């Protein structure tokens, strides 16, 4: 009996762990509602003409994000008109990183003239659903019927330190494939980044 | 004649001025150079920490590795601190940190943009977020993504040495 309950407990624990890992390729994404730097609440459903989204877990303080900010802007400028806008989400707890507060997000968005929505994940509720672990961390979504499906998870490209030395633009290639009605060739990549910070 | 003597005297001085004011030197590795350190088959325990000076939780846990270095001095334990600081900012980040800290730990810089290849090789469960720590002895490995404290490190060491 004891063994059995241990077994059930272990299985429960295992299933919880699986849930905590977040979205996988092919998963349906639940919509969210988060505050943008302009004060308005934003949901995926608000973008009536979107064929998909480049959701990027981001923040203000991380040097890896800073290295990619200009490329995030370029990505949005290139693909918004094609139906794939960038949505950046800051999930860091300002209690852990004061530089990532909502007010500082507004400042950063102004400084860099972000053309995309930069949302604050207040209470850190959205990033665990996605399973985002670091910044920057991209989830490329595409619309299939009424659903938003995860098509690619990972890095923007293959060179964080030098935009001119990039050989593989992972996200661009994935969107191009989707626009041609194909599935992205590379579906997952890994990159070094800052961990998403939660106050203990 | 005088001029040339002056040059002979001044030249070494000028050259020494040209050198880095701090003598901190860090080996720069790509992953192929780092890989042997992650796969040694001796009877030593190896602790490898992936960190950067700009990563606050990394700096917070740095002293635990120094403590480990001190406490396990007589044991077969080898610690390597693998910095992922930006290679073009070392004068402002890694060098001053090492100089001010006067750390005994062995620090190397990993400069390899092929992250999508090597992160998976370090550990298949690693997302790439910093900090991350690998503790291993032979084939027995513990990989921790996220911050650690001193007890976590001791537990990992005990685990790999008892297997």
Residues 151-190 of A with CB under 8 A from B: 154-155, 158-162, 165, 189-190
Is A25-195 a domain of CATH 3.40.30.10? yes
Q: B6 vs A35, B9, B15, B18, B57, CA distance in Å?
A: 69, 5, 14, 18, 53
> Which tens digit of pLDDT belongs to each residue from B31-70?
999 999 999 999 999 999 999 999 999 999 999 999 999 9
DSSP helix/strand/coil, A20: helix
- The CATH number assigned to the domain with range B21-162 reads 3.40.30.10
A12 has which bridge partners? none
Is residue B127 less than 8 Å (CB to CB) from chain A? yes
pLDDT range class, residue B25, cuts 50, 70, 90: confident
pLDDT for A15? 43
Residue with tokens 């961390």: A137
Of B57, B115, B146, the CB nearest to A192: B115
Q: Taking Cα atoms as reference points, which of B46, B54, B128, B62 lies closest to residue B86?
A: B54
> Which tens digit of pLDDT belongs to each residue from B107-132?
999 999 999 999 999 999 999 999 99
CA distance A156 to A138: 7
**What are the extents of the domains in chain B?**
21-162
Say whether A133 and B115 touch across the interface (CB within 8 A): no
A42 has which bridge partners? A34
Among B127, B131, B146, B148, the residue to mutate for chain A (most A Cβ within 10 A): B127
> Which tens digit of pLDDT belongs to each residue from B76-94?
999 999 999 999 889 999 9
Q: Could you count the other beta carbons within 10 Å of the beta carbon of residue B158?
A: 13
Say whether A191 and B146 touch across the interface (CB within 8 A): no
**What are the extents of the domains in chain A?**
25-195
pLDDT range class, residue A135, cuts 50, 70, 90: very high
> What one-character-per-residue DSSP string does chain B give?
-HHHHHHHHHHHHHHHHHS-SS----EEE-HHHHHHHHS--SSSEEEEEEE-TT-HHHHHHHHHHHHHHHHTTTSSEEEEEEE---GGGTTTTHHHHHHHHT--SEEEEE--S-HHHHHHHH-TT--SEEPEEEEEETTEEEEEES---HHHHHHHHHHHHH-
- The alpha carbon of A7 is separated from its chain's Cα centroid by a whole number of angstroms, namely 35
CA angle A54, A60, A61 (to 5 degrees): 125
CA distance A76 to A56: 11
Q: Is the pLDDT reported for residue A1 higher than 60?
A: no
Q: Is the pLDDT reported for residue A6 higher than 90?
A: no
> Which tens digit of pLDDT belongs to each residue from A152-187?
999 999 999 889 999 999 999 999 999 999 999 999
> Which tens digit of pLDDT belongs to each residue from A23-76?
999 999 999 999 999 999 999 999 999 999 999 999 999 999 999 999 999 999
Is residue B27 less than 8 Å (CB to CB) from chain A? no
Phi and psi for A54 in degrees, rounded to 5? -105, 90
Residue with tokens 């989400």: A89
Structure tokens at B94: 């890694």
Of B50, B86, B146, the CB nearest to A161: B86
Q: Could you count the other beta carbons within 10 Å of the beta carbon of residue B4?
A: 8
């Amino acid at each position: 009996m004891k063994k059995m309950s241990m077994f059930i407990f272990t299985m429960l624990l295992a299933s919880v762990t699986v849930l905590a890992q977040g979205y996988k390729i092919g998963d349906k994404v639940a919509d969210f509602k988060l505050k943008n730097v302009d004060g308005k609440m934003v949901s995926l459903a608000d973008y009536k003409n979107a064929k998909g989204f480049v959701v990027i877990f981001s923040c203000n303080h991380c040097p890896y994000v800073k290295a990619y900010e200009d490329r995030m802007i370029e990505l949005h400028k290139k693909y918004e008109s094609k139906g794939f806008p960038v949505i950046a989400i800051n999930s860091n707890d300002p209690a852990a990183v004061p530089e990532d507060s909502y007010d500082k997000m507004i400042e950063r968005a102004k400084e860099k003239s972000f053309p995309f929505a930069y949302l604050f994940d207040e209470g850190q509720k959205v990033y665990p659903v996605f399973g985002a672990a670091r910044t920057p961390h991209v989830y490329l979504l595409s619309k299939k019927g009424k659903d938003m499906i995860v098509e690619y998870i990972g890095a923007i490209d293959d060179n964080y330190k030098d935009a001119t030395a990039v050989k593989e633009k992972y996200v661009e290639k994935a969107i191009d494939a989707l626009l041609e009605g194909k599935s992205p060739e590379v579906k997952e990549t890994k990159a070094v980044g800052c961990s998403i910070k939660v106050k203990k | 004649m005088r001029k040339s003597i002056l040059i002979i005297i001044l030249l070494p001085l000028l050259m020494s001025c040209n050198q880095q004011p701090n003598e901190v030197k860090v080996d720069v590795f790509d992953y192929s150079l780092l890989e042997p350190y992650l796969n040694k088959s001796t009877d030593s325990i190896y602790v490898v920490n992936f960190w950067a000076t700009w990563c606050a939780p990394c700096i917070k846990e740095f002293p635990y590795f120094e403590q480990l270095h001190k406490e396990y001095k007589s044991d077969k334990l080898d610690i390597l601190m693998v910095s992922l600081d930006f290679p073009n900012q070392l004068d402002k980040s890694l060098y001053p940190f090492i100089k001010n800290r006067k750390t005994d730990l062995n620090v190397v810089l990993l400069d390899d943009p092929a992250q999508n290849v090597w992160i998976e090789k370090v550990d298949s469960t690693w997302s790439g977020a910093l900090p991350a720590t690998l503790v291993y002895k032979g084939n027995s490995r513990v990989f921790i993504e996220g911050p650690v404290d001193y007890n976590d490190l001791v537990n990992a060491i005990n685990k790999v040495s008892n297997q």
